[in-house]
Structure 1
Amino acid sequence: MNSSTPLQSTSILEELSERLVNYAKKEVIFQPFSLDNHLYMIHSGKIKLYKNSEDGRKTILIVLGEGEIFSNIPSFSLDEEGVYAETIDPTILHVLSHKQVESMKGTHSLTVTELYSTLNQQMKMRNLFIERIMYTPVKERILFLLSFLMKRFGEKQGNLIKINVHLTHQDIASFIGSTRETVTSLTKELIKEGYIQKINRNYHMVKGTDLS
């Protein structure tokens, strides 16, 4: 269910990348004002991009999985500044330097166009998600978030769809603009009402409860 980088871009990035880098779970890949700028493609694992607000709260922007790209190169980044990238699981990344990306503009112009298109789709997807949850009750936001992630990282298991992203209550709160305490209370209600289940740290949606 995961949407990934176009096949041509994927194969060329794998070919051009001189580095395959292993990251541990919850390891920061880059942060604002990092001196080194790179383009990354996820070989395996998952990452989240997020920002910190002035009051110290974390706002998760998006979760990305295998085959998808992200970057802190200004012309290839999801946002201009203030973005952190952190692994959710143990993750392996293809890493291209800023210099390599610049050289691609002359040697692989079609690939660069596809990369821009992919990043633009990520931005549109994120904006649609934000618009959808902006004025809805928190309980509905939780269901919509799980539906959103289910479409991208879901695995059918009988009458359930497992969401293959480990989410804490704080993670959910950071995604939907709520508090951990509220999310804890409302997820318990949703489980009691039969909309979702939590099995071995993963949320599962009952078929027919998709809100996306």
Structure 2
Amino acid sequence: MINKLWYLSQIKLFDKVDAEDMQVIDKGTHHARIRKHTIIQSPEIAGSGLYFVKEGALRLYIINEEGRQFTVGILGKGSTFGEVESFSLGTHGVYIETLEDTLLCSISSEQFEAFIADRPEIMKRVMRILSDNLNQKNSMLEKMALGTVKEKLLFLLMHLAEEFGIPEDGYARIDLPLTHQELSNMIGVTCESVTAAIHELGKENTIRSSRKSVSVRM
């Protein structure tokens, strides 16, 4: 049986929220386990409400006119995304895909609006999350549009290491199984280009890689 209150307490948005308020928010939430590589949102189909990542990871991306994918955000455990009546957390108009098996919690727009109506401290956190999401999206778009393959890949890997890294011998091992093909899809280049960039970064000791594991020098 899922302990919803424990999972909710791990969400950044609800950090330092008292037990009574946590009971209120818990009553309105729903949980769902979603398999790896499931697209849970597209630009044409986007649900309302807020979603909280309890376990797993999500990728936000766009597709250009040539059909290439460009990652604009990575969300890990404790992250929040979605749309409610009074604000959007910067995830409108993008695809959202699970990078691994993921546990999501959701609350309807109406329930969340009612919850924050007399809790201004929660709204302040929402605005910080919105700012962080937009900054991440803008940085990703700029790097993916202007960078070389090597620069794009290193930027992505550093971001993944920051979000999912486990320290090991001076490196941060990205705790996600990533193939060269998956990395190439994330930055909109060929798999061969990613393989060449990984080899070059490896020779520089900037990263260490194996078949499905990548570590970034800290």
TM-score bin, normalised by smaller chain: 0.7 to 0.9
**2:32 is aligned with 1:24:** no
Distance 1:206 1:107 in 2: 45
Is contact 2:181-2:191 (8 Å) kept? yes
Distance 1:33 1:158 in 2: 45
Aligned residues: 204
Is contact 1:76-1:116 (8 Å) kept? no
Corresponding residue for 1:39?
50
Q: Identify if the C-alpha distance between structure 1 residues 80 and 94 changes in structure 2 by more than 3 Å, giving closer, same or farther.
A: closer
Unaligned 5+ segments in structure 2 are 1-10
Corresponding residue for 1:7?
15
Corresponding residue for 1:157?
168
Distance 1:152 1:14 in 2: 26
Letter of the 1:78 counterpart: G
Which of 1 and 2 has higher RCO (CA within 8 Å, sep 6+)? Answer: 1
Corresponding residue for 2:8?
none
> How far has the Cα of 1:122 moved from its partner?
1.8
> How far has the Cα of 1:165 moved from its partner?
2.9
Q: Deviations over 1:143-177 (max 9, x none)?
A: 23222222222111123320123333344334445
> How far has the Cα of 1:23 moved from its partner?
0.7
Q: Does 182-191 or 18-27 show the bigger shift?
A: 182-191
Equivalent position to 1:120, from 94, 111, 131: 131
Q: Does 68-77 or 25-34 show the bigger shift?
A: 68-77
Corresponding residue for 1:104?
115
Q: Considering only aligned residues, what root-mean-square deviation do their CA atoms show, in Å?
A: 2.8
Distance 1:72 1:86 in 2: 17
Is contact 1:39-1:76 (8 Å) kept? no
SS at match of 1:205: strand
Corresponding residue for 2:197?
186
> How far has the Cα of 1:69 moved from its partner?
0.4
Unaligned 5+ segments in structure 1 are 208-212
Q: Deviations over 1:5-52 (max 9, x none)?
A: 461469849635421111111112222232631210111111111122
Is contact 2:40-2:97 (8 Å) kept? yes
TM-score by length of 2: 0.78
Letter of the 1:149 counterpart: L
1:74-85 paired onto structure 2 within 5 Å: 75-81=87-93, 83-85=94-96
Distance 1:170 1:176 in 2: 10
**Percent identity (aligned):** 26
Letter of the 2:69 counterpart: K
Corresponding residue for 1:195?
206
> How far has the Cα of 1:91 moved from its partner?
0.8
Q: Identify if the C-alpha distance between structure 1 residues 137 and 34 changes in structure 2 by more than 3 Å, giving closer, same or farther.
A: closer
Distance 1:174 1:200 in 2: 17
Corresponding residue for 2:6?
none
Equivalent position to 2:154, from 122, 135, 143: 143
Q: Identify if the C-alpha distance between structure 1 residues 98 and 63 changes in structure 2 by more than 3 Å, giving closer, same or farther.
A: same
Is contact 1:16-1:96 (8 Å) kept? no
Letter of the 2:89 counterpart: S
Q: Does 166-175 or 91-100 show the bigger shift?
A: 166-175
